A and B are shown apart, each in its own frame.
Chain A
Amino acid sequence: GENVEQHPSTLSVQEGDSAVIKCTYSDSASNYFPWYKQELGKGPQLIIDIRSNVGEKKDQRIAVTLNKTAKHFSLHITETQPEDSAVYFCAASLLGNQFYFGTGTSLTVIP
């Protein structure tokens, strides 16, 4: 089955700086890679996703890049704000099938 690794497990950045979270996956058949933000006591919220036919996708301060050859994808958050503080999960899947989640990154943005 698929195996997703996520790094780092914790990340602290100063407000205004950029944050990068990286994930690798093992199954080359995976074709869908969402990123979720989870705030304390709540369910994960989809913030951005990318499909395997695209190398990069951007939505305001958030961007995701995908390298299919190397089987890794990354989340980039620019101009970080305190409200970006949360746990972020990457996932990989063959669309229509189960998601395989990374272990999560706890991001703290220091005002």
Chain B
Amino acid sequence: GAVVSQHPSRVICKSGTSVKIECRSLDFQATTMFWYRQFPKQSLMLMATSNEGSKATYEQGVEKDKFLINHASLTLSTLTVTSAHPEDSSFYICSAAQGAEQPQHFGDGTRLSIL
């Protein structure tokens, strides 16, 4: 149980393109979803916390107009990287929690490469 699916697994696109990444909880309802960014050989950096039906809470230094997060249902959250540039290239990972006292389960990440 507690499977989180993330798509796409890899994206390569030109600078200026907007990219949408989907995160789905397949066998549970996720009241909260989290978006992380991970640089090579580094730990996970929390970008934002998303609660179903409300606006996401962004961490300091993360541009909310750049990284648009939508959590429209209890099983789906999306991250849109708008007008992506090479410096946005990274590994983006989502996680989902079933409730306030439940652990986070992670998707397999999206490797984003901006040319």
State the A residues within 8 Å of B (CB).
Answer: 32, 34, 36, 41-46, 49, 89, 95-96, 98-99, 101-104, 106
Contacts and interface: CB of A to CB of B under 8 A. Distances in A.
B96 to A, nearest CB: 11
B103 A32 contact: yes
Contacts of A45: 106
Contacts, number: 49
A46 B49 contact: no
Contacts of B105: 46
Bin chain B's interface residue count. 20 to 34
Contacts of A32: 103
Contacts of B49: 98
Interface of B: 4, 6, 34, 41-44, 46, 49, 93, 95, 97, 99-109, 111
B43 A103 contact: yes
Contacts of B6: 43
Contacts of B34: 98-99
